[in-house]
Chain A
Amino acid sequence: MMTLKVNGHDHQIDADPDTPLLYVLRDDIKLNAAKFGCGLGQCGACTVIVDGKAVFSCVTPLLLLEGKQVTTLEGLGTVDAPAPIQRAFIEEQAAQCGYCINGMMMRAQALLQRNSKPTDEQIRAELEPHLCRCGTHMRILRAVHRAAKLMDTAELSTGSAQ
């Protein structure tokens, strides 16, 4: 038994310590935003945020997560109250099949948390480990810029970061 902190909640997990985080999220906690793509940490579809940093959950065993805080896409916002990054992706219609979009949003979120005004170059460099074969790359770029603006506005109006 191990305690896993996901989206602010403690979960008691009964799994081998070498189980990939992705399996635990999807099978045990039923959080399905993170996707299984390649299982090798090469496509980015499984990306979640751990202590503020984007990680591939398919190659991150549970035993590395002792005491760490995991955030999944579900932890950012809901259908009714989407987070700025989610709103931006919807408004730019950045998803086609959508399989890669969880990863794109999670890594973009981690980027925006440490750099609120990334340049086009910085976004491209950051999202480089993520594969999208539908080809919505340009919309994804616009969505990340839009999210940066949304977060900026939100900060101005509420006086606090997300």
Chain B
Amino acid sequence: MTRTRIIAGVVAALLLSGVVAAFAVAWRPAIAAIEPPLPRSFDPALVTRGRDLAALGNCNDCHTMQRGKAFAGGLPVPTPFGTIYSSNITPDPDTGIGRWSEAAFRRAMRSGVNRDGQHLYPTFPYDHFTNVTDEDDQALYAYLMTRPAIHASAPANRLSFPFDQRLVVAGWKLLFLRRGTYQPDSAQSAEWNRGAYLVEGLAHCGSCHTPRNALGAERAGVQFAGGDVDNWNAYAINSRSRSPVPWDTAALFAYLRQGWHPHHGVARGPMAEVVGNLSSVDESDVHAIAVYMTSVFGPPTQDQIRRGDEALAKAKSPAAPPSQAEAPGASIYAAACATCHETSRPLPYGGVNLGLSTAISGPDPRNAANIVLSGIRPVEGERSPIMPGFANSMTDDQVSSVLNYLRSRFSNQPAWAGVAKTVEDARRTQTVFLQTSAGPRNAPADPMQRDKP
């Protein structure tokens, strides 16, 4: 009897302390609502700075639906755990962040908690934003609170149990959210440190370019080794890069700033929006990012330099007759692709020599399949790359044979596996996109290049 009572007491005490501990880990207080501040209460210089920071953070990309109002949210973001809809970050008092104080905004950026005290899903990359300084958060807040308020509620997330429980996120944070992951390195230049601060923080490059673990967190130890975003491959941007010509600071700067580089090709897919945004910010910040990323790539090996020189020389010399002329892929390439990809017309209107393309040397054919099917549509108001899509004129078999041919002719990598399946998937995604497409919009990049199902 006594023994039973003791055991029951211990169990009760354990349960209680467990509940208390869980509560302490998970519970966050609400931060009092404020009257939406008047736009004129913000210093215009601060708002301008916030504008550039928001562009560096690519905020508009996820927080704006196709054809939707800027920052009004509602974009479905597919994750392995279900679909999460981006939130409205306009100053609308009821559906946006109009009643958020600057402290509430900073808490969301730093630790992924909304004004009500609910945990936010890490689709919002606070694992990076936690590195953003108070001053930059203040400027971002000033910029967002002076945007037009849009009344728009995002649809409810579609997540399966237990991921639909926001408390689960508290556990995720215990495991994966590290404060202060960016620390200035006094051995490096000020520009390097500025670049590191941006890349590891607001620009959150690793969110796409670092592979994720089973719980959706960026895997430690393989930072920038390449990841997935929508149905695109975000290339490795460290020493594992498959770029035929090694990247250097000048090439990175040009690519990030204007969206293409003659030795590397054009930035499309989800990266289109990123370079669209980077074309509008202070040049020195883009250069700082290029400087830091150059050190992430690391110095190329002698072998990489030699292969890069070879690729460049090959691209300049007249095309050798296709070695597999009998293959249907070679004939299609010669008839439909080479007319642009092997002319002297420079980028962005001419096609890059595919021997220089990371899409062809990359680990899988997703990006190449997407581009062959959908093409590259011009971006309004920008000098941007163009390419017609071949979804309506090529069968899946024809696209597959072109991709297999490109891989064997233009890369020194082994043949891709599962090309037919990839093409099928790419076409299905494209079809979903076309059916829901509402047409062109005023945004810094081409919606055709962004998979927004």
Binding site for B on A (CB under 8 A): 17-18, 40-42, 50, 53-56, 59-64, 121-122, 124-125, 128-129
B375 → chain A closest CB, angstroms:
7
Q: Given contacts A121-B438, A124-B439, A125-B438, is CB(A61)–CB(B388) below 8 Å?
A: no
* Distance of A124 Cα from B439 Cα, bound (Å): 7
A149 → chain B closest CB, angstroms:
22
- Residues from chain B with a CB closer than 8 A to the CB of A41 are 375, 387-388
Interface centre among B332, B386, B398, B439 (most CB of A within 10 A): B439
B12 → chain A closest CB, angstroms:
61
- Residues from chain A with a CB closer than 8 A to the CB of B335 are 17-18, 61-64
CB nearest to A114 among chain B residues:
B435
B332 touching A50, Cβ below 8 Å? no
* Distance of A121 Cα from B66 Cα, bound (Å): 13
**B388-419, CB under 8 A of A: which get 1 and which 0?**
10001110001000000000000000000000
A121 touching B392, Cβ below 8 Å? no
A40 touching B438, Cβ below 8 Å? no
Q: Given contacts A42-B378, A121-B438, is CB(A61)–CB(B332) below 8 Å?
A: yes
A59 touching B439, Cβ below 8 Å? no
Taking the complex as formed, is B440 at the interface, i.e. its CB lies under 8 A from any CB of chain A?
A: yes
Taking the complex as formed, is B103 at the interface, i.e. its CB lies under 8 A from any CB of chain A?
A: no
- Residues from chain B with a CB closer than 8 A to the CB of A124 are 439-440
- Residues from chain B with a CB closer than 8 A to the CB of A63 are 331-332, 335
A121 touching B394, Cβ below 8 Å? no
- Residues from chain B with a CB closer than 8 A to the CB of A62 are 335
Q: Given contacts A41-B375, A56-B388, is CB(A125)–CB(B440) below 8 Å?
A: yes
Given contacts A18-B335, A64-B393, A128-B377, 8 further A-B contacts (CB under 8 A): A40-B386, A50-B392, A55-B392, A61-B335, A64-B332, A64-B336, A122-B439, A125-B439
A53 touching B392, Cβ below 8 Å? yes
- Residues from chain B with a CB closer than 8 A to the CB of A50 are 392-393
- Residues from chain B with a CB closer than 8 A to the CB of A61 are 332, 335-336
- Residues from chain A with a CB closer than 8 A to the CB of B438 are 121, 125
* Distance of A125 Cα from B436 Cα, bound (Å): 10
CB nearest to A47 among chain B residues:
B392
A54 touching B398, Cβ below 8 Å? no
B441 → chain A closest CB, angstroms:
10
A59 touching B440, Cβ below 8 Å? no
B334 touching A55, Cβ below 8 Å? no
Q: Given contacts A50-B392, A50-B393, is CB(A60)–CB(B439) below 8 Å?
A: no
Taking the complex as formed, is B340 at the interface, i.e. its CB lies under 8 A from any CB of chain A?
A: yes
- Residues from chain A with a CB closer than 8 A to the CB of B439 are 121-122, 124-125, 128
B394 touching A64, Cβ below 8 Å? yes
A59 touching B386, Cβ below 8 Å? no
Interface centre among A53, A54, A64 (most CB of B within 10 A): A64
Interface centre among B332, B349, B387, B393 (most CB of A within 10 A): B393
A128 touching B440, Cβ below 8 Å? yes
- Residues from chain B with a CB closer than 8 A to the CB of A128 are 377, 439-440
* Distance of A50 Cα from B395 Cα, bound (Å): 12
- Residues from chain A with a CB closer than 8 A to the CB of B377 are 128-129
CB nearest to A57 among chain B residues:
B393
* Distance of A125 Cα from B438 Cα, bound (Å): 6
Q: Given contacts A40-B388, A41-B388, is CB(A18)–CB(B334) below 8 Å?
A: yes
- Residues from chain B with a CB closer than 8 A to the CB of A53 are 392-393
B393 touching A60, Cβ below 8 Å? yes
A120 → chain B closest CB, angstroms:
10
What are 14 pairs between A and B in contact, CB < 8 Å? A40-B388, A41-B375, A42-B378, A42-B386, A42-B388, A50-B392, A53-B393, A59-B339, A60-B393, A62-B335, A64-B336, A64-B394, A64-B398, A125-B440
- Residues from chain A with a CB closer than 8 A to the CB of B339 are 59
Taking the complex as formed, is B437 at the interface, i.e. its CB lies under 8 A from any CB of chain A?
A: yes
A125 → chain B closest CB, angstroms:
3
CB nearest to B386 among chain A residues:
A42
- Residues from chain B with a CB closer than 8 A to the CB of A59 are 336, 339, 388, 393
* Distance of A62 Cα from B387 Cα, bound (Å): 19
- Checking A40, A60, A64 against B340 with a beta-carbon cut-off of 8 angstroms, the contacting residue is A40
CB nearest to B336 among chain A residues:
A61
B338 → chain A closest CB, angstroms:
9
**B344-373, CB under 8 A of A: which get 1 and which 0?**
000001000000000000000000000000
- Residues from chain A with a CB closer than 8 A to the CB of B394 are 64
CB nearest to B389 among chain A residues:
A41
* Distance of A17 Cα from B386 Cα, bound (Å): 25
- Residues from chain B with a CB closer than 8 A to the CB of A17 are 331, 335
